[in-house]
């Protein structure tokens, strides 16, 4: 049988072709995408205390969801601001963006958003989206600090590169509950793309994120140039007209 591989196998990333497909083979291992049924009812609380179900993020348009390991981390801050640079192109394609954290520390959130992430930000109170990155298991994926023991490791190369972009950062909070990224199609289309941060600071390929998001928008019949519905920069999902 024909096997599909990503050109760059280092990131643990799954790209569905088309949106309804759910498996891409990486390094001779199948990486299944999480079913929509697992993530759609995740409870997400914004900074005003309003709680929504995750499915509201992609109810009216596809959504790119950044799943953040730790908002004070130099690597996470750098990736958040890099990813946000895609926002004009994603918005023009009719794709929304949102981010989640697994710990909500007011001072850390205030320092992270909007400085590094101007878009909607939520607390994944039950860490459902984090568990989805770990094969929909009972616990999120846990990382390791072993890569930091070697000053010549890929982790340190990423940290040093991120420090040139992010002068202020800290070590407050849990930095070993690993993050990642999901692209979810509109409505019940399902997860179109997944990236898992299996090594500290290992970010998704932005070209693949854009491709998956635009494909999800096309599959949903979203017209280019149509702005995402229902979002405000405050992180509150606004009601849309019927």
pLDDT tens for residues 203-234? 999 999 999 999 999 999 987 776 676 655 44
Q: Which residue has the higher pLDDT, 180 or 231?
A: 180
pLDDT of residue 237: 47
Which pLDDT value is given to residue 31? 72
Of 227 and 192, more confident: 192
Does the pLDDT of residue 35 top 80, yes or no? yes
Q: Which residues contact 123 (CB under 8 A, 6 or more apart)?
A: 44, 45, 46, 100, 101, 102, 103, 104
Among residues 6, 44, 67, 73, the one annotated as catalytic is: 73
Better-scored residue on pLDDT, 35 or 31? 35
Check whether 46 has a pLDDT greater than 70.
yes
Determine the pLDDT at residue 229. 67
In this prediction, residue 227 carries a pLDDT of: 66
What's the CA gap between 22 and 105, in Å, rounded?
Answer: 35
Q: In percent, how much of the chain has pLDDT > 90?
A: 76
Of residues 36, 64, 76, 133, which has the active-site annotation? 76
Which residues have CB under 8 Å from 216's CB, separation 6+? 19, 62, 95, 183, 184, 185, 186, 189, 192
What pLDDT does residue 222 have? Answer: 84
Instruction: Report the 10 Å Cβ neighbour count for 12.
Output: 22
Whether 63 sits among the annotated catalytic residues: the reply is no
**Residue 28: pLDDT over 50:** no
Cis peptide before 184 (omega within 30 of 0): no
For residue 179, give both structure tokens.
């993050």
Confidence label for 16 from pLDDT (cuts 50, 70 and 90): low
């Amino acid at each position: 049988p024909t096997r599909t591989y990503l050109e760059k196998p280092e990131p643990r990333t799954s790209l569905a072709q088309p949106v309804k497909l759910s498996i891409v083979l990486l390094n001779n291992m199948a990486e299944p995408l999480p079913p929509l049924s697992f993530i759609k009812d995740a409870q997400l609380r914004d900074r005003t205390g309003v709680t929504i179900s995750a499915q509201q993020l992609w109810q009216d348009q596809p959504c790119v969801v950044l799943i953040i390991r730790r908002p004070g981390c130099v690597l996470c801050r750098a990736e958040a601001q890099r990813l946000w640079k895609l926002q004009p192109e994603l918005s023009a394609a009719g794709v929304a963006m949102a981010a989640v954290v697994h710990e909500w520390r007011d001072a850390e959130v205030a320092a992270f958003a909007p400085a590094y992430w101007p878009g909607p930000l939520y607390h994944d109170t039950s860490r459902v989206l984090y568990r989805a990155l770990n094969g929909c298991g009972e616990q999120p994926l846990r990382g390791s600090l072993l890569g930091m023991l070697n000053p010549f490791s890929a982790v340190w190369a990423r940290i040093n590169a991120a420090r040139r972009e992010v002068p202020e950062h800290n070590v407050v909070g849990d930095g070993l509950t690993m993050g990642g990224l999901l692209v979810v199609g509109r409505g019940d289309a399902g997860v179109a793309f997944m990236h898992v941060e299996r090594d500290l600071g290992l970010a998704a390929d932005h070209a693949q994120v854009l491709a998956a998001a635009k494909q999800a928008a096309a599959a949903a019949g979203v017209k280019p140039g149509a702005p995402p519905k229902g979002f405000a920069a405050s992180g509150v999902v606004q009601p849309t007209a019927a």
